[in-house]
Amino acid sequence: MRQIFLDTETTGLYPDQGHRIIEIAAVEMLNRRPTQRHFHLYINPEREIDAGAQEVHGISLEFLQDKPLFAQIAQDFIAFIRGAELIIHNAPFDVGFLNMELSRLNLDPLPSFVSGIVDTLKMAKEMRPGQRNNLDALCRHFGIDNSQRTLHGALLDAELLADVYIAMTRGQESLLMELSTSEQQTTQSHIDVDFSALKRLPPSEEELASHQQYIESLSKSGASPW
């Protein structure tokens, strides 16, 4: 299974108020193993960044002035995620911004390019009801080192999310391993039977006589035992 762990940073909270994506990161995992392939870019939003948002991610408009527009990276991004399952923490936020950016270019919405979208925040709330379930809290809960996360950053957050997701779904991995081991043991038990070592017992005189009577009865009835 190909999975993409995705995160974005933005100029503000609300895409319907004209806020834009300024950073996008997507980290690839294949069969629950990191592939070291990722898609990561900063994007010129062509608008101001809210002060509150800049305090969270630390990205300035000055830094973004020479970065590409979303229109210039859209097709490369779509090619990277196409056909994969997206794993996103608080998926409605990122999906809302990505759908807005895609609609500006008259492109189909995000779900049309992927096999599915999983919201790890929803998963965490079901696993840990009533507790804090932001990325930092989940890292602490699962013992994942997030000491480098002094500010929000899309690439680091996507990489941490991959570690969190594996920890959250480790039971599934264990179940798959147990089933695989069970199948191997079952197969091995059939292979290891040595029929040449089985003891052969000759038939008794009574068994031979009974068998001969059965053959004769078949012959008298016109049937053939062979």
Please choose, from the candidates 1, 78, 79, 77, the residue with its C-alpha nearest in 3D space to the C-alpha of residue 33: 1
- Sheet bearing 33-42, strands edge to edge: 33-42, 21-30, 2-10, 85-88, 116-119
CA distances from 45 to 38, 48, 79, 210 (A): 22, 8, 21, 95
57 is catalytic: no
Cα(97)–Cα(111) distance, rounded to whole angstroms?
A: 13
User: Widest CA span of the chain, in angstroms?
Assistant: 105
Question: Pick the catalytic residue: 19, 57, 89, 152?
Answer: 152
| Helix 91-104 and helix 70-81, axial crossing angle in degrees, nearest 10 | 120
CA-based torsion, 214, 215, 221, 224: positive or negative: positive
Give exposure, 13-42, as e/b (b: 16+ Cβ within 10 Å): eebeeebbbbbbbbbbbeeeeeeeebbebb
Residues acting as catalytic residues: 152
